[in-house]
Chain A
């Protein structure tokens, strides 16, 4: 399978714990995006990387959230001191950006987080 993969697929944690999610993009895709989706809503942008550089962060990404893409391949999203409001589906997408208008983002299956 050469699509975007995410791990774990499901995570249940207690409030106050730290969690880390991993995303493996499609091979050779230079852009990697993180989105968050709550029930009944469309995904909301969190942050994105071009290679290893983090180019944009949403205001949704509070100080408790940090994302990395150390070698320009896989990425991790960490949430510290989780809160119940962090419960959501966390989606990762990757793309090869030949020119902005042609960029298609390919999404992974998501990690569903439940904070008790």
Chain B
């Protein structure tokens, strides 16, 4: 059974810092991995999708990496801003389409 874990559960940093969020999964037989952002009381916004054959994806200040063999992904946020404050969720897709999510990392960026 696939399990996804995110560490840390919460993170508070001063504005301008670079930071790394971690995601691990137990079954390496995945089709892709997605990182999402969720603001309080809202739905999920897709940030990055990494296909199983890829090692990383970049979008603006965000960079996500994937190491399937070790069951790990990281989301790197450069030059953090207060507007980056949100919960970040990673999810893996297996062969049936459903996503298995981690518990999320709640990020607070202080001005």
- Judged by a CB distance under 8 angstroms, whether B97 is at the interface is yes
Give the interface residue-count category, chain A. 20 to 34
Beta-carbon contact of A33 and B51 below 8 Å: no
- Judged by a CB distance under 8 angstroms, whether B19 is at the interface is no
Beta-carbon contact of A91 and B96 below 8 Å: no
Question: Shortest CB–CB separation between residue B36 and chain A, in angstroms?
Answer: 8
Bound CA span A93–B99, Å: 10
Partner of A40, one of B51, B101, B103: B103
Interface hits, B1-41 → A, CB 8 Å: 4, 6, 31-32, 34, 36, 41
Are A56 and B98 also in contact (CB < 8 A) when A42-B91, A42-B104, A101-B32 are? yes
Beta-carbon contact of A110 and B43 below 8 Å: yes
Give the interface residue-count category, chain B. 20 to 34
- Judged by a CB distance under 8 angstroms, whether B93 is at the interface is yes
Using a CB–CB distance below 8 Å, which chain B residues touch chain A?
A: 4, 6, 31-32, 34, 36, 41-46, 49, 51-53, 89, 91, 93, 95-104
12 new A-B contacts at CB < 8 Å, known A4-B43, A102-B32, A109-B43: A40-B103, A41-B104, A45-B98, A58-B98, A91-B44, A93-B44, A95-B97, A100-B95, A101-B32, A105-B46, A107-B46, A108-B43
